[in-house]
Structure 1
Amino acid sequence: MRALAGQFLRFGVVGTIAFVIDAGVLWLAMGAGVDPYLARVISFVPAFAANFLLNRAWTFAQKREQRPHGQAARYLAVQLAGMAMNYAVFAAIVTFAGEGRVVALAAVVAGSIAAMGFNFLGARHLVFRPLA
């Protein structure tokens, strides 16, 4: 149980780093006049990359495959499902609360929290599963 708690804590640290990247890109894109819904899609890409690389190197390092392509593909599938949940929460908040950058940042927080458990379980059991 202690190992699981440590792994979840590392996952949270990595998620926080990815969140900062996600929110920063969103903030910059919206500041440049990009629609918040499109800006959110754009901000997913660098956040996903950082999230995968850091989780692979640190959170789930003992379960790393030699060739990362399979893990990256599985991670993308899990993250896209998680992103769908995240984006649904984000879009609902922005739709009902307004399209300002502060509202959008709050919506990113809410969406990230909503998808965190799903993303952790998917990463742990589908992506970085024990090596055979």
Structure 2
Amino acid sequence: MIVQFFRFGVVGVIGFLVDSAVLYAMLWLSMGFMSGRFVSFLCAATATWVINRRITFSPSAHRSVLREWVSYIVAMSGGGVVNLLCYRLVMSSFHYQTYLPLLAVGAGSIAGLLVNYTVAKFWVFRRPKHDPNPQN
């Protein structure tokens, strides 16, 4: 389980990079801080789902890919709420600097990490009790 959590964390760093890059692209396109963050979160969650299903968790053969993705996005929304609230708090608490959205995304990502891991492991990528190929 420690190796799995480490992998989840590494994938989270990749998600952070996707999140930050997309957010700055949305801000460059004149999107607001929150609407841009919504788009960047969705892109990051999709990227981490793709990677997590390949290297962190074994996908269940009993669930369709679309259903798994929807489950993952819904599951990450719990941590996403924590993430977005933290982002909003940081953005509204400090004078704007070019690096502030990056720090706010980082703070939000750390805040949502444990919630997201727990939900991903025990709900999205859970194995049926009768599955002959148990997870890590």
1:122 aligned partner? 119
- 1:49 aligned to 27, 46, 49, which one? 46
SS in 1 for 2:61: coil
Q: How has the CA–CA distance of structure 1 residues 37 and 27 changed in structure 2, closer, same or farther, with 3 Å as cutoff?
A: same
Residue 99 of structure 1: CA displacement?
4.1
Provide the residue aligned with 1:64 in structure 2.
60
2:87/2:105 contact within 8 Å kept = yes
Give the gaps of 5 or more residues in structure 2: 131-136
Partner of residue 37, structure 1: 34
**Which structure dedicates a bigger proportion of its chain to helix?**
1
Q: Is the 8 A contact 2:11 2:52 kept in 1?
A: yes
Shift of 1:121: 0.4
* Range moving further from structure 2, 116-125 or 63-72: 63-72
Equivalent position of 1:112 in the other structure:
109
Cα distance, 1:86 vs. partner?
Answer: 0.2
Aligned length: 128
- Compute the displacement of 1:51 (Å): 0.8
Q: Indicate the percent of aligned positions where both proteins have the same amino acid.
A: 30
SS of structure 2 residue aligned to 1:49? helix
Tell me which residue corresponds to 2:134. none
> How far did residue 38 of structure 1 move?
1.3
Which residue, 71, 77, 81 being the options, matches 1:80?
77
Once superposed, what is the RMSD of the aligned Cα atoms? 1.4
Q: After superposition, where does 1:21-36 map in structure 2 within 5 Å?
A: 21-36=18-33
Instruction: Spell out, residue by residue over 1:33-78, the C-alpha distance to the aligned partner (whole angstroms, 9 max, x if none).
Output: 22111111111121111111111111002x4335223322221111
The amino acid of 1:102's aligned partner reads: Y
Unaligned runs of 5+ in 1: none
Residues 87 and 111, structure 1, Cα contact 8 Å, conserved in 2: yes
Partners of 2:84 and 2:95 in 1: CA distance: 15
